[in-house]
Structure 1
Amino acid sequence: MSVTPQRHRARGRLLIAGVTALAAAASVAAALPAGAQDESRDHGHATGRTVDVQLLSFNDFHGNLEPPTGSGGRVTELQPDGTTKTIDAGGVEHLATALRDARKGERYTATVAAGDLIGGSPLLSGLFHDEPTIEALNKLDLDIAGVGNHEFDEGRTELERIQNGGCHPKDGCYEDGKVFQGADFPYLAANVTDEKTGKPILPPYKIWEKNGVKIGFIGLTLEGTPDIVSAEGIKGLKFHDEVETIDKYAKELDRKGVKSIVALVHEGGAPASAAYNYNCDSPGPGDGISGPITEIAKKTTSKVDAFVTGHTHQAYVCTVPDPAGKPRMVTSASSAGKLFTDTTLTYDRRTRDIVRTSVESANQVVRRDLPKAPDMTSLIARWNKLAAPIASRPLGFISADIARGTEPEQPLGSLIADAQLAYAKTVDPEADLALMNPGGIRAELVFKAAGAEGDGVVTYGEAFSVQPFGNTVNLVDLTGAQLITALKQQVSGSNEAAPKILQISAGLTYTLDLTKTGADRVVADSVKLNGAAIDPAATYRVAMNSFLAGGGDGFAELGKGANPLVGADDLKAFEDYLAANSSAADPIEPPASGRITVVKKPTPAVS
């Protein structure tokens, strides 16, 4: 690893791994390999052959207007000596300041996003169907956004309301005399079509133009969106292949004379390091990242000059070879507004294309020591006042942080599964076990949470942030064989590359052997309930949320359950459990591990 004393934007060469020594400006500027450059560069202030266009981008904001709590509000920064440290980051008050500061002095600047701006949001936004977030994004001067899977959480009609405005059909208007105005920026949905008409439900692309400089932005979500959202919300819609869709509209833009193209794709990858300023191109282009976006980037037409991506909540600035073998920038800015990506696109007025050898990019931390933007402070205060009577209501008590964690078995996941089983037994005493999808757990329970009534108090607002989707707790009959198949689907099929380990209620145990591959990682004869081996021929009554009961997250077997019973809201089940099982004198402790026994690959010996 080589270290530079401070951040330098590099042009016409691949920047060797650079890590700042100055914490306030730590980042790595990634640039593409050397190539000829025109001497008449504009830098955005004159009229030369080339001009620099600043592209600011972020993704997976998920309504985090206030700084995220716990580990979800931190980023990892690589230090010059090779160690890492964590930095508290995020909060729209700081994000607004950071973006506005970044734009200063830039003649050509566009701000874009790659999906999941709403959905899975904390109470401050989620309680109001994310109207506060759209209002904040309007104030941020967001120019364009691609849709993500979470834009479909409440269905197509609600997404259209988010775009076009109008009061919520059930809840109405939240403030007297005020009607929700909708998003000032266009949402793009190139690969989402109406089954009847075959046409995209929202525009497939947007041409950004200033002083004759034109850049086409194509926006789309991952093709696998139907596997991870409620089937009811996307009824009548089709989701198409990402590469085929981008290629189609890139050709259309090219025919219109738009040669500079950026794809906003809500699909992502996994970098080799969790540090936001890790040199993703070490030892070479594309070597530091894996996952679905790498295949998309490798196959998509060379007409596309850069990718802004999301979905995996990771931070990376990489170059991935296009079909011609030429490196092309691929970026992602983590999630929850903790980072934004600052990319420079050099536009050639003669060819009307991006000079790819001059593209440079770096992720920037949204530090909480940045001044707060007053307009965002006012916005948060206004909506908090509306939410306060509900948000501050105490539900129960915890003795310490209850985290999501990174291990297959998560303390908070175990707690939620226990709560759902307890609720299930109140409506069907024959309920045997409960399963919870990890993606449905959106925040941690923090012992010292901002705004809580006291240390250890869990408020409605905090619980809402954990489970904001409004699913119901459903019960179905599954045979033992089906249950084992469902557990195997955690690590096979669409979940093989990125396993989704279900959180399980107390009494259910099994072994996850990570030395094996595919479905074999779940050891079938290790699956037990209360110490007894699961009988493949027996029937078990299983509780789960309505999303899983519909086969969501790639768990098709769970969608085949018999004798379904639709129960109450999952948040109400969690609320009841906290009330029944905790008090100030006897708070809930983080559940102990041991439900899932993990066999890990041995760590190679260091010589």
Structure 2
Amino acid sequence: MKHLLLLLFALTATTLSAKPREIRFKILETTDVHGNYFPYDYLNQQPGEGSLIRAYSFVKAQRQLMKPQHVLLLDAGDILQGQPSAYYYNFMDTVSQHACASVLNYMQYDAATVGNHDIEAGHAVYDRWTKECRMPMLGANIIRTSTGQPYWRPYTIIKKDGVRFAVLGLLTTGIPNWLPENLWSGMRFDDMVEVARKYMPEMRRQADVVIGLFHSGVGRENATGTKNENASLQVAQQVPGFDLILCGHDHRKANRKIANVNGDSVLVLNTGANAHFVAVADLVVEKNGKKVSVKSATGHLEDIDQWEVNPEMLAHFQPQIDAVKKFTQEVIGHNATELTTRPAFFGPSAFVDFIHQLQLKITGAQISFVAPLSFDARIPVGTIRVSDMFNLYKFENMLYVMQLTGQEIKNFLEYSYAGWTQQMSSPSDHLLLFNDRTINSPESWQRLRTPSYNFDSAAGILYEVDVTKPRGQKITIKSLATGEPFDLKQTYRVAVNSYRGNGGGGLMTEGAGIPREQLVKRVVWSTDKDLRYYLMQEIRQQKDIAPKALNQWKFVPENWTTPAAQRDSITLFQ
């Protein structure tokens, strides 16, 4: 008995004398990489900025500084579209391991969340890719309709130096509004707040630290309602229990603390896009016996362009880099006219009208809708290569023909130009609708209130846009381009990309006034390949192209809009 008492005394004394241990962790996030795996600009055939190979130099340095068990590396989605390197392994070389999976495996990511542009690549691509990735793929609110269970893991538990991290993956719920159903067949996308609230109790039972890894932007302050596109702030505020939220999707950098409904502070980070930055969260965790608590969380965004390319990783992936170079350097035609998106903001342009003409030719439609999908792109006079197609057409959209009435076409255009132009009340006003809060942003595209990929113009009709008139009264359609009368009650065949045809940007639903569930019934024809493929085939067939603006519409009054366009061009692109 005496020996037992002495043993108990010794154990008690040891427990009482043990001091809490502080452990420092770095949580690193990439997001919206959009195929920028390699430090090469395939569009301009020159060394490129950003890239995961450059980011790896920073990641490797942090692992050496902190020891690997004190570093977590995570990705928040949209990594499978946007660069020729992604397109090549999505659709051209489908036998080799996908370069994206190889890169993520090489860098030893701990987990990743799926993004909407990953879904846009289609089942064949993302199902293969996720099987090739060695880290857990997450998506708690991406539900398999046949079972009611998540299509991918809802969350994962990562153990580092005795500390358990739960990482919950969530995806923006807008996919059905943007993408054809065949790309996400068998899935539904539940509200982020509701799903986060569902999994929080079980994650807190299993983990010491809970991290949100969301492909959804920060969003608006005090947002309400369900299924918001950018809902990370909403989750942070309304679902207590998160120690850190890493997000993406909207390409807007963020580093801020959010107070939740319990009054606790949550660190929210967003890196922007294209692997130019890595989000860094510095967590100090106190471990006192079995009890673990987060003592502090601070963050910053590391500028990856200041880091050198990692030479070992570059050498390892040189064969893949060269394979994509060979693909993008293929000559498909010759261009006699420089194509640039800049004039498209201020009137008809050769860049946009070239796509209009091809859409009309491919589909046989009467009218075409097109927006400048690349904010500031240029294809010079001379040889046209495959790489130029990624400047001409940024995303892998299909092409639809939809049936719209003349009134719906007018309403569609009213909505487009209302988000594009302001109502001018004097010649000194802006023509474009700028965002007053961000008009001086170093990121030119953020100066506009509406993303320019929603600036749809039309071809096949002759019309004017009176910028002195209010929303709903700007558009006057004079006739079809053939000279035939335009009838608001008649039904027309309209060529439009699948993003727009599925309701993306709200032009079909809020603008034309077509209920979302009715959109699919309006589609009378669709391509089976992406529009970029058909553009490449058309240029190969023509060999020599000399695009010109169709000049089928204009801004009026011209004595106001012409000088305003000159001023606004400087404001937008300076």
TM range (shorter): 0.7 to 0.9
Alignment of 1:150 with 2:117, yes or no, is: yes
Map 1:345-494 → 2, pairs under 5 A: 345-350=283-288, 351-355=291-295, 358-367=296-305, 370-385=308-323, 388=326, 391-397=329-335, 399-400=337-338, 402-403=340-341, 407=345, 414-415=352-353, 417-424=355-362, 428=364, 431-436=365-370, 441=374, 444-447=377-380, 456-464=382-390, 466-467=392-393, 470-487=396-413, 490=416
Instruction: Note the residue ranges of structure 1 that are not aligned, 5 or more in a row.
Output: 1-46, 74-86, 165-181, 273-289, 448-454
Give 1:296 deviation, angstroms: 1.5
Relative to structure 1, the CA distance from residue 307 to residue 259 in structure 2 (aligned partners, 3 Å threshold; closer, same or farther) is same
* Range 325-334 or range 574-583, more displaced: 574-583
Alignment of 1:229 with 2:197, yes or no, is: no
Letter in 2 for 1:459: R
Residue 97 of structure 1: aligned partner: 57
Letter in 2 for 1:163: T
Give 1:241 deviation, angstroms: 0.7
Map 1:325-344 → 2, pairs under 5 A: 325-344=263-282
Relative to structure 1, the CA distance from residue 468 to residue 512 in structure 2 (aligned partners, 3 Å threshold; closer, same or farther) is same
Alignment of 1:211 with 2:161, yes or no, is: yes
Relative to structure 1, the CA distance from residue 347 to residue 413 in structure 2 (aligned partners, 3 Å threshold; closer, same or farther) is farther
Identity, % of aligned positions? 18
Aligned-partner Cα distance in 1 for 2:149–2:232: 28
Relative to the length of structure 2, the TM-score reads 0.72
Aligned-partner Cα distance in 1 for 2:522–2:416: 21
Q: Is the contact between residue 341 and residue 375 of structure 2 (CA under 8 Å) also seen in structure 1?
A: no
Q: Is the contact between residue 89 and residue 365 of structure 1 (CA under 8 Å) also seen in structure 2?
A: no
Alignment of 1:51 with 2:23, yes or no, is: yes
Give 1:396 deviation, angstroms: 2.9
Alignment of 1:139 with 2:65, yes or no, is: no
Alignment of 1:538 with 2:490, yes or no, is: yes
SS in 2 for 1:161: helix
Map 1:171-210 → 2, pairs under 5 A: 182-210=132-160
Q: Is the contact between residue 436 and residue 544 of structure 1 (CA under 8 Å) also seen in structure 2?
A: yes
Relative to structure 1, the CA distance from residue 435 to residue 399 in structure 2 (aligned partners, 3 Å threshold; closer, same or farther) is same
Give 1:301 deviation, angstroms: 1.7
Residue 501 of structure 1: aligned partner: 454
Residue 251 of structure 1: aligned partner: 201
Aligned-partner Cα distance in 1 for 2:101–2:375: 19
Residue 14 of structure 2: aligned partner: none
Relative to structure 1, the CA distance from residue 265 to residue 360 in structure 2 (aligned partners, 3 Å threshold; closer, same or farther) is same
Aligned-partner Cα distance in 2 for 1:66–1:588: 32
Aligned-partner Cα distance in 2 for 1:226–1:291: 11
Give 1:231 deviation, angstroms: 1.2
Aligned-partner Cα distance in 1 for 2:476–2:194: 43
Give 1:560 deviation, angstroms: 5.6
Residue 123 of structure 1: aligned partner: 84
Give 1:473 deviation, angstroms: 3.0
Relative to structure 1, the CA distance from residue 106 to residue 492 in structure 2 (aligned partners, 3 Å threshold; closer, same or farther) is farther
Superposed CA deviations along residues 494-534 of structure 1, whole A, max 9, x for unmatched, are xx995652433445545486996xxx367354687549995
CA RMSD of aligned residues (A): 4.2
SS in 1 for 2:368: strand
Aligned-partner Cα distance in 2 for 1:97–1:368: 10
Letter in 1 for 2:49: A
Residue 112 of structure 1: aligned partner: 74
Aligned-partner Cα distance in 2 for 1:305–1:539: 54
Which of 474, 484, 491 in structure 2 is aligned with 1:523? 474
Q: Is the contact between residue 488 and residue 521 of structure 1 (CA under 8 Å) also seen in structure 2?
A: yes
SS in 2 for 1:63: coil
Relative to structure 1, the CA distance from residue 420 to residue 547 in structure 2 (aligned partners, 3 Å threshold; closer, same or farther) is farther
Superposed CA deviations along residues 49-100 of structure 1, whole A, max 9, x for unmatched, are 3211101111011112244759999xxxxxxxxxxxxx97313332222322
Residue 239 of structure 1: aligned partner: 189
Give 1:162 deviation, angstroms: 1.3
Aligned-partner Cα distance in 1 for 2:232–2:84: 34
Aligned-partner Cα distance in 1 for 2:202–2:458: 52
Give 1:327 deviation, angstroms: 3.5
Which of 509, 513, 524 in structure 2 is aligned with 1:564? 524
Give 1:156 deviation, angstroms: 4.2
Residue 444 of structure 2: aligned partner: none
Relative to structure 1, the CA distance from residue 199 to residue 342 in structure 2 (aligned partners, 3 Å threshold; closer, same or farther) is same
Q: Is the contact between residue 88 and residue 368 of structure 1 (CA under 8 Å) also seen in structure 2?
A: no
Aligned-partner Cα distance in 2 for 1:186–1:406: 43
Q: Which has the larger radius of gyration?
A: 2
SS in 1 for 2:524: strand
Higher helix share: 2
SS in 2 for 1:93: helix
Relative to structure 1, the CA distance from residue 117 to residue 550 in structure 2 (aligned partners, 3 Å threshold; closer, same or farther) is same
Instruction: Note the residue ranges of structure 2 that are not aligned, 5 or more in a row.
Output: 1-18, 92-97, 222-227, 420-447, 569-574
Give 1:463 deviation, angstroms: 0.9
Letter in 1 for 2:474: V
Letter in 1 for 2:112: A
Aligned-partner Cα distance in 2 for 1:410–1:296: 40
